Structure 1
Amino acid sequence: MAQQLINQYHFLAKWGGKREDFLEISGLDISIDIIPMREGNSKVDSPIKIPGLKTFPEIIFKRNINLGDNDFYDWITTRNFGTVERRTIEIFLLDENLLPVITWRALNCFPSKYYGPVLISNDSQIATETLYIAHDGFTVEHSRKK
């Protein structure tokens, strides 16, 4: 069976805001803690490794700032004394026809950091904002091509 490679530059995310366009999304990673263990009667002088808990870093969303769109900031300011609005976020990798081929579904998401633009007087870059999202894990689903 021939491999079908997918470009990484067609994507969008449904996160509860109006806009789904982003410059960059990163942090779709999983790590498993390694627990070294050695019993007292072991004849080996080094520990064995056993798997521990899964950990998930924050997912990072970066986008251009559009006038009148304050959704990132509004979401992070919903936090109130230990409570925050949690959402399910779906990230779609799209094929050449802009149809989803892989979906990452992150669960119980909430914003943990917001970075506004870096303002530089002699730079002609477009202003961007970045939102870090904490979550309880994600699933990955591949679409089946017919």
Structure 2
Amino acid sequence: MAGEVQNDIWPLPKFYFSVQLGDDTSVSFQEVDGLETETQVIEYRHGNNPSFFPIKMPGLGKVGNVKMRKGIFINDARFWDWYNEIKMNTIARRTVIISLLDEQGAPKMTWTLNNAWPTKLSGTDLKSEGNEVAVESLEVAFETLVVAAP
């Protein structure tokens, strides 16, 4: 129909996203980085193969850590509380869901980090002559990454 805009021919902008940490409510982050997975390559050549090139087969999967940054708010220490659970040897693993949203706020692409736990927590740098927002960063390790387009 004339005048209709097809929303599936343009890529989604990357600035409208949400992050859900376990059963907690959605947390607003400024930046999420490290959504990647890879498969190791196993090279194999049979002893009597006339070709001098190995066969390449998929091996074990590997995921990296995801780093998230957000502004520091008054009375908001939930990341420090989660990180401190490591010291008591009772790591609370959570499912982290990162969703890329459309204009209406509906998820169009989701990355699910299974069995995630905080591996690094960084506070902000402090400068007396600056006027930037205080930003903390949380790095989480996880076991598997599931990517879906709901």
Q: Does the TM-score normalized on the shorter chain lie above 0.5? A: yes
2:88 corresponds to 1:106: no
**Residue of structure 2 equivalent to 1:5:** 11
In the TM superposition, residue 111 of structure 1 has moved relative to its aligned partner by 0.6
**Residue of structure 2 equivalent to 1:24:** 31
Which of 117-126 and 39-48 deviates more? 39-48
In the TM superposition, residue 42 of structure 1 has moved relative to its aligned partner by 3.2
Structure 1 contact 18–71 (Cα < 8 Å) conserved: no
In the TM superposition, residue 41 of structure 1 has moved relative to its aligned partner by 2.7
Which one of 86, 91, 102 corresponds to residue 95 of structure 1? 102
The one-letter code sitting in structure 2 at the alignment partner of 1:11 is: F
The one-letter code sitting in structure 2 at the alignment partner of 1:33 is: Q
CA distance in 2 between counterparts of 1:120 and 1:82 reads 35
CA distance in 2 between counterparts of 1:123 and 1:48 reads 57
The one-letter code sitting in structure 2 at the alignment partner of 1:10 is: Y
CA distance in 1 between counterparts of 2:66 and 2:120 reads 11
Secondary structure of residue in 2 paired with 1:76: helix
RMSD: 1.9
Where does structure 2 lack aligned partners over 5 or more consecutive residues?
A: 1-5
2:74 corresponds to 1:33: no
List aligned pairs for 1:1-146, cutoff 5 A.
Answer: 3-16=9-22, 17=24, 20-80=27-87, 82-143=89-150
Q: TM-score, normalised by structure 2?
A: 0.85
The one-letter code sitting in structure 2 at the alignment partner of 1:47 is: P
Which of 54-63 and 75-84 deviates more? 75-84
Structure 1 contact 37–49 (Cα < 8 Å) conserved: yes
Secondary structure of residue in 2 paired with 1:61: strand
Equivalent pairs counted in the alignment come to: 143
Q: Identity over the aligned pairs, expressed in percent? A: 31
